[in-house]
Amino acid sequence: MTSNRLNNKQKWDVVVFGGGIAGLTASIYLAQEGKKVLLLEKGSKLGGRGNSTAIGNAQLNLGAHALYINCIEILNEVGVTVAGNPPKLSTSFIFGEQPDQMKVIEAFNLFVGNHLKWKEKMEFIHFYRQMKRLDLNELNHISLEEYLNKTVTSRHVKNMILAFTRVTTYTNNPSIMSAGVAIGQLRSAKVMYLNDGWQSIVNDLAKKAEQLGVDIKKRVVVSKVLGSYPTIQIILKDEQLIEANCLLSTINPHDFAKLMNEQIPQSFLNICNQMIPVKAACLDLVMTALPNPKINFAVGVEKPWYFSNHSTVAKLSTNPGEIVVHVMKYLNSAIESVPSDDERELECLLDFIQPGWRDYVISRRFLPKLIVSNDIKKPFNHLDYHLSNHQEVGIEGIYVAGDWLGEREVLLKASLTSAKNASKLINEKLAVQLI
């Protein structure tokens, strides 16, 4: 076992908090510019929400994870290539809320059959056509709900659009989320399911960081942060003291605010206080097959459900007789979710679209209330929103990155972009010091 004793004689250029994808990515950008970087992760494993768990022969992401193609550029810049495929899935829509009223309609049949009226079909097609021409800057000032109420008349069509925006943003709060963000995500909705899960990205990032000399320490608990550039003091739970010129935190901003204690600026606390996390309840399954192989991808129209067989295009098990299936409920922040009810609801969904599914299950895992993103991306006129576009917290030398930052990006793209921006700011700051 490697020692967790830190070299606290040396002063680091940068200490990075958090060994998730943002922390690892930032540490590579910094090390690529010759900075001495120490990365501290509190857990025993790297990857954070991007890690995957080996269950038997299969790799299970923490709930359904699809990599947006627009993340690849940054991953390539830090030396990571991704392996996987875009899902070639025909969408099945699940209409209705209770099993006795539920109906599954495949996307194609929706347009040839009579479930939707002619006017509704036209309205849906019109929405998709004009979506490409919309000015996202204007839409960033209103909520998705406001936008849909103004532009779409059919309840069915509205619900179908909401079903797609849930899939692309994971957010089930249309009255809070920015219309610009939601429509922007729909436009760039190209994704990949990754072979061996997202752990493959995490492993490559960690390898690259170590090759560049980043010192990665796991199971390290920080108890306090003091000072500012060029002397930031990080005090660990075991009372070791680490010194650095700069600090980059990629951990949950509320937790970071606690570590900064009374030093934290009020503007940063205001941002934290306005945050509304995006959450999901996930049922992850390893199965021998699907009892109803006709449905590989389904979304709820009236209910916030997701179902996808990720093994249709990604290699997720060393055993060709196993598939990985993710079932999920997008949680609404205004409704207190009860884990046992959510699990039962997802089981009922499976009973309906995949009758007899229990006989095919090799292993299962239910993860209630997972934090998908630390904040819903709200319209710009939201109080103080602009402050959250910056990677600086208001104390010289201290920076932040994570999915809650950025104007329009969501999910991993927001984490990666803010990690890149913060690293650039730190590299510039330290370059000035060297002159």
Q: Does 403 bind ligand FAD (CB under 6 A)?
A: yes
Number of helical H runs and strand E runs in the chain: 13, 19
Q: How crowded is residue 266: how many other Cβ atoms within 10 Å of its Cβ?
A: 9
| Interface stretch with ligand FAD, choices 37-45, 73-81, 88-96, 112-120 (CB under 6 A) | 37-45
Q: Does 48 bind ligand FAD (CB under 6 A)?
A: yes
Pull the structure tokens for residue 149: 């109420």
> Contacting ligand FAD (CB under 6 A), which of 6, 12, 13, 19?
19
| Interface stretch with ligand FAD, choices 59-67, 80-88, 120-128, 269-277 (CB under 6 A) | 59-67
Q: Does 29 bind ligand FAD (CB under 6 A)?
A: no
Contacts to ligand FAD from residues 267-306, by CB under 6 A:
280, 282
Q: Cis bond leading into 87, ω under 30°?
A: no
Q: 3-class DSSP state for residue 271?
A: helix
CB of 414 to ligand FAD, least distance (A): 7
| Interface stretch with ligand FAD, choices 12-20, 94-102, 348-356, 375-383 (CB under 6 A) | 12-20
3-state SS string over 51-80? CEEEECCEEEECCCCCEEHHHHHHHHHCCC
Matching residue, tokens 């007899």: 356
> Contacting ligand FAD (CB under 6 A), which of 13, 14, 17, 185?
17
Q: Does 406 bind ligand FAD (CB under 6 A)?
A: no
| Interface stretch with ligand FAD, choices 1-9, 61-69, 174-182, 352-360 (CB under 6 A) | 61-69
Choose between 49 and 408: whose C-beta lies nearer to ligand FAD: 49
Residue 203 burial by Cβ neighbours in a 10 Å radius (0-12, 13-18, 19+): middle
> Contacting ligand FAD (CB under 6 A), which of 43, 227, 230, 265?
43
Residue 194 burial by Cβ neighbours in a 10 Å radius (0-12, 13-18, 19+): buried
Q: What DSSP letter does each residue of 296-355 carry, written as one string?
A: SEEEESSS-EEEEEGGGTS--BSSTT-EEEEEEEEPPTTS---HHHHHHHHHHHHHHHST
Q: Which residues bind ligand FAD (CB under 6 A)?
A: 17-23, 40-43, 48-50, 62-66, 68, 222, 250-251, 255, 280, 282, 370, 372, 402-403, 411-412, 415
